[in-house]
Structure formats: structure tokens, C-alpha cells
Structure 1
Amino acid sequence: MADSVNDERIPTVICDGVDIVYRVNGTGAGRGSATAALNRMLHRKQTEKAAGVRRVHAVKNVSFTAYKGEAIGLIGTNGSGKSTLLRAVAGLLPVENGKIYTNGQPSLLGVNAALMGDLTGERNVILGGLAMGMSREEIKARYQEIVDFSGINEKGDFITLPMRTYSSGMGARLRFSIAAAKNHDVLLIDEALATGDRSFQRRSEKRIRELREQAGTVFLVTHSNATIRDTCERALWLERGVLRMDGPTEDVLAAYEDFTNGDKPKGPAAPAPAKQGK
């Protein structure tokens, strides 16, 4: 009996019938006084149509459960709702219907590491670490490891320069390095591994595996199927907001690659029953 209890998987994220809807103002919206704008907000449902507000249903009735120790890849063609879903799990977007439950604090890479362009990389390592809840002593102990991991000093002393002088890739690598310095309950990574060379990607993939071993949960959005294969044992395939498949990485990627290499349907994606991962 004790063994069966110890072997029981612990949920970290539960999405239960989640719908996420964006509202885009039309040409008639946003005009008038501040009082009129406030009234539109307070009576949103009644005035959306009159104000020319267009509803974009980005995520449609998505349900899944993630567990401690899992690395889950989110795949799908552009505009399929992957990043939107991550932002909702992180608590940055409201859901229209359904519920999202989390066990622990989700950390969305690039948000918790709130870096500032006018500060040096060195100061931003401290700022980003504090934003994630690390103590100054922890940051000091891991500082050199963070800099070395990012690789931004390989061609000069860039860590002492303002971050506005960094390329987008350098900034993204430093953000990932700061985020990866801490063990997370739930770490949400959106395309961060696509910004570095293969050496940086290998270091990142190794760190993701370490986070899983320390009983964290990692969600990874990337268009690199090779990275998904190397780091994730489970994948969720979103297409036009619909969860088409949930299962072992190889099974899901095989179906996705067949879809992307073949003739894509012109109409909305049919919501096929999602196969649940183990």
C-alpha cells in the first residue's frame, strides 16, 4: 500500500474546459470621453456588438493534467494558441470559460526575469533573481554560473554593458539563464531555446532534464521538433485553438508532421478526441 501511494503522480497544472477569447476593438471603439469608455467596460457584453468589438476565440475547450517531473512540449502551427495558453497558465490572461488550477507558482520565462534595457547585464541578473524570489546570497552564489551558462561573455565583457546594447538572442539567453538558476514548481518556456547556438541549446536541454528530475514541471513551446524530442516525453498538439492530440512525444510528433507535410484542411480544424498522456 505504501508503495502505491508513493508512486502516485502529483498534478501541478489542471486545465478544465478552458476557453480564451481576445477582444479586438473595431473602428468605432475607443472614441469619446473617459466616462464613456468606463461605461463600455462596465457593460461590456451589452456594448461589444455596438462598439464593433471582434471576438477572437484563441483557445477552445482545452483540458489536460500535467504532473510533477514531466516536460511537456506544446506544438502546433503559427497562431494555434500555444503562447496564449502558456500566458493563461501563468495567470497573465483570464479565461472565458473553464478553470485552470496550479499547484505551486508558475514562472513564465521572460516575465519573472523582469530585465531592464538601461541597466547592465550584471544588474539585471540581480534584478531578475530577486523577481523570482531568490535571496541576494543565492544570486551571489550563482552569479558566475548564470553568466557562463548564457555565454554572452564569450566574445567580450558584455555583462557590464547595458542590456539595450544586446542582440535579441543575447537578451533571451540571459533571461533563460536567470530563470534556469532556480528550481521551479512549473516553468513555462516560450521559444527561448531557439535563440542560441547548438552549444547553448544543449546546455538548456540538459538543464530542463535537471528541473524535471527535481520534481518540477516544464512546458516548452518551440518550432524545433528536434528539441521537443530531446527534452519532452509528452506533447500537446494545439491547432487553431483546439487540442487535437495529447500523448507520448513520438506519437504526437508523427501525427503533427504528417499534418504539416500533407494538405492542410481549408476549413476550421476538426476537434478530434485528445489522446491522454500517461
Structure 2
Amino acid sequence: MTTPTPGERPGDASNADSAQRGPMVLLLNDVDIDYEVWEDRQRGLRERFTGLKGAGRTIIHAVQGASFAVYEGESVAIMGSNGSGKSTILAAIAGLLPVTNGQIYAAYEPRLMGVGAALLPKVSGIRNIRIGCLALGMSLEQIDEHMDSIIEFADIGDAINRPLRSYSSGMKARLLFAIATSIRPKILMIDEALSVGDKEFRAKSEGRIQEMLDHAGTLLMVSHNMNELKRLCKRGIWLEQGVLKADGPIADVIAQYTEKQK
């Protein structure tokens, strides 16, 4: 990923209404993302080490020629059917996947919300808060500063002192969301993270996201919940089989997408 100066507007990516927007913070320029799938996993690992390419190997063209710009303070929904490339494109923006062709430019480090892989099932919620915050890059002083607010937001009572493995899926979702949103990144990406938890917690979660946007944050969000996307996002991008089909006001793009699903 290439990092331009914050607010830089590449000349060939500007459009007629860019003057009415904030500075550009993210640009995808003709991005392709391919990955390999093998029928036999062991054979695939062997070929990776030897460099030899044999039968049973398939190339998946997950994203094909995607180009779009995102501006400071925008909230952008990315929608599409299963396997359309939505999560793949977020992972590439976050720097977790390489692009095959094209470029991704970001003025700030994009953060894909999620610390689940860093947490430990056998230790308490409080210890997992520390582990998760360290994974987000916080210092020990910052963790101490945010600890009370994370516990309060998760609102799981005495369970905070119990091992994570004893939590229900809803309690775990509360804790993960509270940890992951304890920082305020300039570019936040969410992949289906608000689809869990009860109605009250989802409302709290949306409130926290809106608070981030109010402070000139930028949001990219993947979800199959169209009502959720309408509430949180003003712009929609529709991907289908890796190809960008539509980009515009959220209501218009949702209408186009849902019409094609009938």
C-alpha cells in the first residue's frame, strides 16, 4: 500500500463534485486481487515451496479492476452477494492481502475492526482487554486510561472477571466491539461486526460509529443488512463477482442491488 500526503488529490482521480467534499483519504486505482486454490491442500503447500505449478490449481479473480476514491468524513457501504469480493477488498485496503495489479493509496492507516484473533479463551475479560488493546497498538498508559470506558461499554457485569471461553456469543461480541472501537482511527472498516448482539447493543454500537464519523472519521462498512447500511452510510458501492457495478447515493445503490436480487 502506498501512502500519499494526507488530503492529497491525485489529478486523474478527481471528479466534478470533489470540491464539495473533504480531502481524499483513500484511492483504489484499477485494483485486481487474485488468489490460488488447490484441490489438495498438501500439494498446494508443496508447490508454494518448490515454485512448481501442477494440476488441481485454480486462480480466483476475487476483485477485478476496482477504482474508487473515498473522502474524509464519508460513510461508505460496500454491498454484494456472497463471494462478490467485499471482505477481500477490505482486507487489501487494510494491508492484509496483496493486490495483483493496480494501486491502493491511503492518507492514513486504515483499520479493519477486529481483535478476535488476539484474544485468549482461558483468561478473563479484563486480561483480554489488555491483550486486545496491545494488539491495537496502545501503550500500557493508554490501556489504563481506556479500561473503565471499555468495561462500561461492554456492559457484561461480573463476567468481565471470568474466562472468555465461558461467554455467550453475545457477551463476546460486546467485549470485542468495545475493545476494537476504543481507538479512533481516521479510516475505520467494519465487516459484518454489527450483525451480532441484541437490539439495545446494536443501537449502542451504531451510536459509537456515528460519534467517530462526527469527528471527521471515515467509514467503510460491509453488511448484508440493508437497513443498517441505510442508517449508517450515505454512499453505496455494489460489487458483484469482483466487479464494481454501482457507486452513488446509498438509497440508489441499494435499490439497484435489491432489484437484481429478485
1:184-207: CA deviations, max 9, x gaps?
021111111011111111111111
Q: Of residues 34, 50, 54 in structure 2, which corresponds to 1:39? A: 50
Poorly superposed stretches of 4+, deviation over 4 Å: none
Q: Does 1:169 align with 2:170?
A: yes
**SS across alignment from 2:211:** helix
TM-score normalized by the length of structure 1: 0.81
For 1:139, the equivalent position in structure 2 comes to 143
Range with bigger deviation, 185-194 or 142-151: 142-151
> Cα gap change, 1:22/1:256 in structure 2, threshold over 3 Å: closer, same or farther?
same
Q: Of residues 21, 29, 34 in structure 2, which corresponds to 1:21? A: 34
For 2:61, the equivalent position in structure 1 comes to 57
Q: Of residues 64, 67, 73 in structure 1, which corresponds to 2:71? A: 67
Structure 1 unaligned segments of length 5 or more: list them.
Answer: 1-5, 41-46, 263-278
Matched letter for residue 206 of structure 1: G
> Cα gap change, 1:29/1:121 in structure 2, threshold over 3 Å: closer, same or farther?
closer
State how far apart, in whole Å, the 2-side matches of 1:31 and 1:211 are. Answer: 43
Q: What are the within-5 Å matches in structure 2 for residues 62-101 of structure 1?
A: 62-101=66-105
State how far apart, in whole Å, the 1-side matches of 2:149 and 2:42 are. Answer: 50
> Cα gap change, 1:57/1:111 in structure 2, threshold over 3 Å: closer, same or farther?
farther
Q: What are the within-5 Å matches in structure 2 for residues 225-236 of structure 1?
A: 225-236=226-237
1:111-152: CA deviations, max 9, x gaps?
487222222110111121122222323322322221222233
> Cα gap change, 1:160/1:112 in structure 2, threshold over 3 Å: closer, same or farther?
closer
> Cα gap change, 1:137/1:7 in structure 2, threshold over 3 Å: closer, same or farther?
farther
TM-score normalized by the length of structure 2: 0.86
For 1:209, the equivalent position in structure 2 comes to 210
Q: What are the within-5 Å matches in structure 2 for residues 120-199 of structure 1?
A: 120-153=124-157, 157-199=158-200
> Cα gap change, 1:227/1:174 in structure 2, threshold over 3 Å: closer, same or farther?
same
Matched letter for residue 58 of structure 2: R
Q: Does 1:118 align with 2:115?
A: no
Greater Rg over alpha carbons, structure: 1
Q: Is the 8 A contact 1:29 1:53 kept in 2?
A: no
- The total of aligned residue pairs comes to 244
**SS across alignment from 2:189:** strand
1:148-202: CA deviations, max 9, x gaps?
222332xxx1111111222333223212111211110211111110111111111
Q: Is the 8 A contact 1:120 1:162 kept in 2?
A: yes
> Cα gap change, 1:30/1:215 in structure 2, threshold over 3 Å: closer, same or farther?
same
> Cα gap change, 1:217/1:193 in structure 2, threshold over 3 Å: closer, same or farther?
same
Matched letter for residue 105 of structure 2: Y
1:45-91: CA deviations, max 9, x gaps?
xx43x242111111111111111111111111111111111111111
Q: Is the 8 A contact 1:113 1:179 kept in 2?
A: no
Q: What are the within-5 Å matches in structure 2 for residues 229-248 of structure 1?
A: 229-248=230-249
Q: CA RMSD in A?
A: 2.2
**SS across alignment from 2:26:** strand
> Cα gap change, 1:134/1:27 in structure 2, threshold over 3 Å: closer, same or farther?
closer
State how far apart, in whole Å, the 2-side matches of 1:27 and 1:197 are. Answer: 41
Q: Is the 8 A contact 2:170 2:198 kept in 1?
A: no
> Cα gap change, 1:7/1:159 in structure 2, threshold over 3 Å: closer, same or farther?
same
Q: Is the 8 A contact 1:113 1:131 kept in 2?
A: no
Structure 2 unaligned segments of length 5 or more: list them.
Answer: 1-18
> Cα gap change, 1:53/1:132 in structure 2, threshold over 3 Å: closer, same or farther?
same
**SS across alignment from 2:43:** coil
